[in-house]
A and B are shown apart, each in its own frame.
Chain A
Amino acid sequence: MSRLSSSGPQTADAPTPEDAFHETATLDDRARGPQRGTEADGPMLAADGTPLKKSLARALRAQKLRALALIAPLLIFVLVTFIAPIADMLFRSVENQIVRDTLPRTSAALATWDAESGDLPPDSAFEALYSDLFLAAEARRHTRLGQRLNYENTGMSSLFRGTGRDVDDFGEANVEMLEDLDDRWEEAEFWISMTSGTGGAAVLDAARERFIRLDDLSTRGPLGDAWCGVKGVFGAPCAVSAEDVDLGFTLSGDFAETFPRTAEAYAEFAVFMAIEEEETVADDEPWEAVYVALDRDLRALSPEELAAYDGPEAEALRAAQAALADVPPVDFRAAFVASDEDWGTVEPWRTIRTYAPPYTTGYFLNAVDMQKTPDGPALRDEDERIYGLLFQRTLFMSLMITFSCILLGYPVAWLLANLPMRTANLLMILVLLPFWTSLLVRTSAWKVMLQQQGVINDVLVWLGLVADDGRLIMINNQFGTIVAMTHILLPFMILPLYSVMQTIPPSYMRAAKSLGATPLTAFRRVYFPQTVPGIGAGSILVFILAIGYYITPEIVGGTTGTFISNRIAYHISSSLNWGLAAALGSILLVVVLVLYWAYDKIVGIDNVKLGG
């Protein structure tokens, strides 16, 4: 002791009471020593003069690399199969590109419309919807949008499907007028000669991009390109990407300038033919939308302006303008309302407008029983609220299960920790036995046990405790779920409790008793507080497993004993509303994280022990 001591002179023949203090003081001094040196002399240097930190880092680098190499396979596996899907799923809960991608012009036209005014949108919106919907219907993407909007406003799905069928016939009179005027209007070559030229590449590119977005033909990106390059070397090249498909057609800049709508519609047609049909514009006459667009363009031009146009087929265009003056312009508004009178109400327009932005809180609002209204988010009607109740029920039942597990598991763990090794091992096997049986078998067994004609009811009736016509309902409700899941999750409570209790020597209880505490006080004040970390670990484990449990509540839960996870599964696999499923999942994740955080604040996560 005195050997270590540097604090004051000591003739330490015999130890003195102060020595213990000097010892601690000395140890502290020694711990501080090097730091003091650092302050005075600058950074510590290794024997060869390099800074000590640097040479230490170099010495440890190989070790670190090896550690990294050891975890790399698992890390990659987890990233690819766990982190990435979860991130994608979470992203889906706010992602809402579909409206903007399917109805780009309509979204733009509705941007300036005042949805609160109660007035219908302007004519330009109807016209925009016509051209958007026509292309979407040709590409058969309009039903998908209808389905998406149907989550927010019931009826949108059938509205889009019905109008998608009719949209070909809008402006039929004007189309026929043109076709009757001159047979050449029905010939692909005529259209090509009229629109071909140079300088209209921008219009074609815009159409191509719009179609790619509409059809979800995502770009490959640098990584995909590199992969395709590798495949090309081995003689199995990737298909030509949508960005690079040859349209077999170039647009005249002059034509595009004079007839912007027609050029846009024809460009879309050309892109559709090339990408979707793998043909070119030369193979077929244009679709109706192109004729309707030309009708709109010709009406927008004065005869003088048209006379100044000197592109190909200018004569035919002038003749068409004159002929079309005899028929009325296409009335899009009337055509839509005629297809479905809902278009004459504000509702569908408002829905499109509300969900036009690329990201939405809609799924999340939905997941908490709210919806978007003109006045901002509001609670749904009483009878439409389901998720709040489901979340409450999930939390309540998970807590019940956790609590039951503590009640049942604590004594067992105590027994395990205090029995002689041999007996404890035997008991431990019994505790672990459930792990060796299939989850499905165990859950089904509970069904057999608990059903109304099941073992438990039969025994109760036989004992005369329950009348034969008053058999207890113990399955397909919350009770059944709690019983079955408590049984299934019990080992997850017992194991951490056991490993914590094992480390508590019996001398603590003895010490407490020798100090005068009754056995109950000794347990309450001394033993129990030391097992709290075990209870904490077990509770976290059981609670988090319970809150996301799926199979057992699905089988024994009936309608009142199901969890939020069952609803998520329903949206993933049956209703296909992935956005909502993702939002529900995200909320579940956040709830668990918040609980975890609260637990850390109250109990302290450092206190959680799974062993040792």
Chain B
Amino acid sequence: MAETDTQEAFVAFERVQKSYDGETLVVKDLNLAMPRGEFLTMLGPSGSGKTTCLMMLAGFETATHGEIKLGGQPINNIPPHKRGIGMVFQNYALFPHMTVAENLAFPLEVRSLPKSEREEKIRRALDMVQMGEFGGRRPAQLSGGQQQRIALARALVFEPELVLMDEPLGALDKQLREHMQFEITNLAHQLGITVVYVTHDQTEALTMSDRVAVFDDGRIQQLAAPDVLYETPENSFVAQFIGENNTLLGTVKEIRNEYAVVELDDGELIDCKPVNVSQPGERTLVSIRPERVEINAERLQEGAHTLKAEVLEFIYMGDIFRTRLRVAGKDDFIIKTRNAPDQRRLRPGEKIEIGWLPDDCRALDA
């Protein structure tokens, strides 16, 4: 799946650049290859260029430089209506003056399909999203979740191989969003379609995708499967953007046996896995996931470094406990512990020792 050979890729961006004003680049040197059937999410903060990439793929924006290929063919000069790409918009863009069935018939009508075939396909598409009885309604008569399903059905009804989704779940409430995430991924795998999904919601990206491309500053910072992305971020932006992270600034003291010892600014030492550092003396940002911090010293490795910490706040969140600590002079060090029967509930003011496995602590670029 991590194949990057653009010759075999279904969707490929080759050295694509985009500028709106001729002065600044919104997309800088984008290279991306997607095999057929992949669910790829473009994730990034707003202004990172992810939506621009999607619009270039859909044909609504032209690339300033570089080539976009679909099925091996360059599509830079093909207008959007000839690309045959299904698209789900952020606000659904269901045509308000047409009924649900008419909305779904639209792509089939412009393709001049015979009426019987059209009706069959509409029926199948509506059943697929469990909206079979709503064909006669207008979009305004549907709830947000129902509109979302119809938008999905419309993008799929003409059986495109590639479907683009531009933050399709942004307008739904949390529960419905989670439910739709589940449904969209199921449908995509069931139909075997290729999906490019744009979102700024990292949970959505992690739960839905085969691979996630993290965008920032017009570049892909990391392109990897969700677990890889979460557990082994390649740079500090990815580490901080994906999931919650504790960061500590320090200087590399020595590197041996594939582990590095980092001296924090207040002089304390910790063990890390060097990722973006190669030699002693470099500044580094050390990142540790809150759930990988251990407060029970017995579970730590022999000879592991530990840090002194003071409990500032204890928050009961049901399934987990979230505790804020003061560590190495910083007040925002978070740890998460599972709400298990034998779990300690820390009290504010308590002084504890914390530590972690060196593999969980990554020394990244500063």
Chain A residues within 8 Å of B, Cβ to Cβ? 1, 14-21, 23-24, 505, 507-508, 510-519, 521-522, 525-526, 529-530
In Å, the complex CA distance between A507 and B82 comes to 17
21 CB < 8 A contacts A-B:
A1-B176, A15-B182, A24-B143, A505-B93, A508-B93, A508-B95, A510-B60, A511-B87, A511-B89, A513-B59, A513-B60, A513-B79, A514-B81, A514-B155, A515-B106, A515-B110, A516-B81, A517-B110, A518-B81, A519-B81, A525-B106
Max chain B C-beta neighbours (<10 A), residue from A20, A505, A508, A518: A20
Given contacts A513-B80, A515-B86, A519-B81, 18 further A-B pairs with CB under 8 A are A1-B179, A16-B179, A17-B183, A18-B130, A505-B91, A510-B89, A512-B95, A514-B58, A514-B81, A514-B83, A514-B86, A514-B164, A515-B106, A515-B154, A516-B107, A517-B81, A526-B106, A530-B95
Nearest opposing residue in chain B for A17, CB measure: B130
A507 and B91 contacting across the interface, CB-CB below 8 Å: yes
B146 and A514 contacting across the interface, CB-CB below 8 Å: no
Chain B residues 164-202 with CB under 8 Å of chain A are 164, 175-176, 178-179, 182-183
Cβ 8 A contact of B93, one of A19, A511, A525: A511
Max chain B C-beta neighbours (<10 A), residue from A19, A513, A525: A513
A517 and B106 contacting across the interface, CB-CB below 8 Å: yes
In Å, the complex CA distance between A517 and B176 comes to 31
In Å, the complex CA distance between A16 and B180 comes to 10
A526 and B90 contacting across the interface, CB-CB below 8 Å: no
In Å, the complex CA distance between A260 and B233 comes to 123
Nearest opposing residue in chain B for A504, CB measure: B96
Cβ 8 A contact of A510, one of B80, B107, B143, B158: B80
Encode B266-277 as 1/0 by CB contact (under 8 A) with A.
Answer: 000000000000
- Closest-CB distance, A61 to chain B (whole angstroms): 35
Q: Does B152 contact A (CB under 8 A)?
A: no
- Closest-CB distance, B146 to chain A (whole angstroms): 6
Q: Does B97 contact A (CB under 8 A)?
A: yes
Chain A residues lying within 8 Å of B90, measured Cβ to Cβ, are 507
Chain A residues lying within 8 Å of B158, measured Cβ to Cβ, are 515-516
- Closest-CB distance, A44 to chain B (whole angstroms): 28
In Å, the complex CA distance between A271 and B95 comes to 79
Q: Considering only CB atoms and an 8 Å cut-off, how many residues of chain B contact the other chain?
A: 38
Q: Does B149 contact A (CB under 8 A)?
A: yes
Nearest opposing residue in chain B for A12, CB measure: B175
In Å, the complex CA distance between A521 and B79 comes to 14
- Closest-CB distance, B57 to chain A (whole angstroms): 11
A514 and B87 contacting across the interface, CB-CB below 8 Å: yes
- Closest-CB distance, B144 to chain A (whole angstroms): 10
B175 and A516 contacting across the interface, CB-CB below 8 Å: no
Nearest opposing residue in chain A for B102, CB measure: A525
Nearest opposing residue in chain B for A1, CB measure: B175
A521 and B178 contacting across the interface, CB-CB below 8 Å: no
Q: Does B71 contact A (CB under 8 A)?
A: no
Max chain A C-beta neighbours (<10 A), residue from B95, B96, B178: B95
In Å, the complex CA distance between A16 and B164 comes to 24
- Closest-CB distance, B218 to chain A (whole angstroms): 22
Chain A residues lying within 8 Å of B84, measured Cβ to Cβ, are 516
Chain A residues lying within 8 Å of B96, measured Cβ to Cβ, are 530
> How many residue pairs at the A-B interface have CB separations less than 8 Å?
94
- Closest-CB distance, B84 to chain A (whole angstroms): 7
Chain B residues 135-160 with CB under 8 Å of chain A are 143, 145-146, 149, 154-155, 158
A530 and B93 contacting across the interface, CB-CB below 8 Å: no
B110 and A521 contacting across the interface, CB-CB below 8 Å: yes
In Å, the complex CA distance between A1 and B180 comes to 13
Chain B residues lying within 8 Å of A1, measured Cβ to Cβ, are 175-176, 179
B81 and A510 contacting across the interface, CB-CB below 8 Å: no
Nearest opposing residue in chain A for B104, CB measure: A515
Nearest opposing residue in chain A for B60, CB measure: A510
Q: Does B330 contact A (CB under 8 A)?
A: no
Chain B residues lying within 8 Å of A521, measured Cβ to Cβ, are 110
Chain B residues 228-273 with CB under 8 Å of chain A are none
In Å, the complex CA distance between A518 and B83 comes to 11
- Closest-CB distance, B160 to chain A (whole angstroms): 9
In Å, the complex CA distance between A23 and B175 comes to 12
A516 and B95 contacting across the interface, CB-CB below 8 Å: no
Q: Does B85 contact A (CB under 8 A)?
A: yes
Chain A residues lying within 8 Å of B110, measured Cβ to Cβ, are 515-518, 521
Q: Does B111 contact A (CB under 8 A)?
A: yes
A23 and B97 contacting across the interface, CB-CB below 8 Å: no
Given A513-B81, A525-B106, the answer on whether A20 and B145 have CB atoms closer than 8 Å is: yes
Nearest opposing residue in chain A for B145, CB measure: A20
Chain A residues lying within 8 Å of B85, measured Cβ to Cβ, are 514
- Closest-CB distance, A320 to chain B (whole angstroms): 93
- Closest-CB distance, B161 to chain A (whole angstroms): 14
In Å, the complex CA distance between A24 and B106 comes to 27
A20 and B107 contacting across the interface, CB-CB below 8 Å: no
Max chain B C-beta neighbours (<10 A), residue from A14, A21, A516, A522: A516
Chain B residues lying within 8 Å of A525, measured Cβ to Cβ, are 106
A21 and B130 contacting across the interface, CB-CB below 8 Å: yes
In Å, the complex CA distance between A515 and B110 comes to 8
Chain A residues lying within 8 Å of B97, measured Cβ to Cβ, are 529-530
Chain B residues lying within 8 Å of A19, measured Cβ to Cβ, are 179
Chain B residues lying within 8 Å of A20, measured Cβ to Cβ, are 130, 143, 145-146, 149, 176, 179
A507 and B93 contacting across the interface, CB-CB below 8 Å: yes
In Å, the complex CA distance between A530 and B96 comes to 8
A514 and B143 contacting across the interface, CB-CB below 8 Å: no
Encode B59-94 as 1/0 by CB contact (under 8 A) with A.
Answer: 110000000000000000001111111110111010
- Closest-CB distance, B190 to chain A (whole angstroms): 13
Chain A residues lying within 8 Å of B107, measured Cβ to Cβ, are 515-517
- Closest-CB distance, A522 to chain B (whole angstroms): 8
A23 and B143 contacting across the interface, CB-CB below 8 Å: yes
Nearest opposing residue in chain B for A27, CB measure: B143
- Closest-CB distance, B76 to chain A (whole angstroms): 16
In Å, the complex CA distance between A24 and B82 comes to 38
Chain B residues lying within 8 Å of A529, measured Cβ to Cβ, are 97
- Closest-CB distance, A130 to chain B (whole angstroms): 75
Chain B residues lying within 8 Å of A515, measured Cβ to Cβ, are 81, 86, 106-107, 110, 154-155, 158
In Å, the complex CA distance between A518 and B107 comes to 11
Chain A residues lying within 8 Å of B86, measured Cβ to Cβ, are 514-515
Max chain B C-beta neighbours (<10 A), residue from A15, A16, A514, A517: A514
In Å, the complex CA distance between A517 and B93 comes to 14
Given A516-B81, A516-B111, A517-B110, the answer on whether A510 and B93 have CB atoms closer than 8 Å is: yes
Chain B residues lying within 8 Å of A522, measured Cβ to Cβ, are 81
Chain B residues lying within 8 Å of A16, measured Cβ to Cβ, are 179
Nearest opposing residue in chain A for B96, CB measure: A530
Chain B residues lying within 8 Å of A518, measured Cβ to Cβ, are 81, 110
Chain A residues lying within 8 Å of B81, measured Cβ to Cβ, are 513-519, 522
In Å, the complex CA distance between A15 and B130 comes to 14
In Å, the complex CA distance between A521 and B179 comes to 35
Chain A residues lying within 8 Å of B179, measured Cβ to Cβ, are 1, 15-17, 19-20
Chain B residues 106-129 with CB under 8 Å of chain A are 106-107, 110-111
In Å, the complex CA distance between A507 and B164 comes to 14
- Closest-CB distance, A537 to chain B (whole angstroms): 16
Chain A residues lying within 8 Å of B93, measured Cβ to Cβ, are 505, 507-508, 510-511
Nearest opposing residue in chain A for B94, CB measure: A511
- Closest-CB distance, B89 to chain A (whole angstroms): 5
In Å, the complex CA distance between A514 and B164 comes to 10
In Å, the complex CA distance between A121 and B93 comes to 81
Chain B residues lying within 8 Å of A505, measured Cβ to Cβ, are 91, 93
In Å, the complex CA distance between A516 and B155 comes to 11
Chain A residues lying within 8 Å of B130, measured Cβ to Cβ, are 17-18, 20-21
- Closest-CB distance, B197 to chain A (whole angstroms): 15
Chain A residues lying within 8 Å of B59, measured Cβ to Cβ, are 513-514
In Å, the complex CA distance between A115 and B219 comes to 101
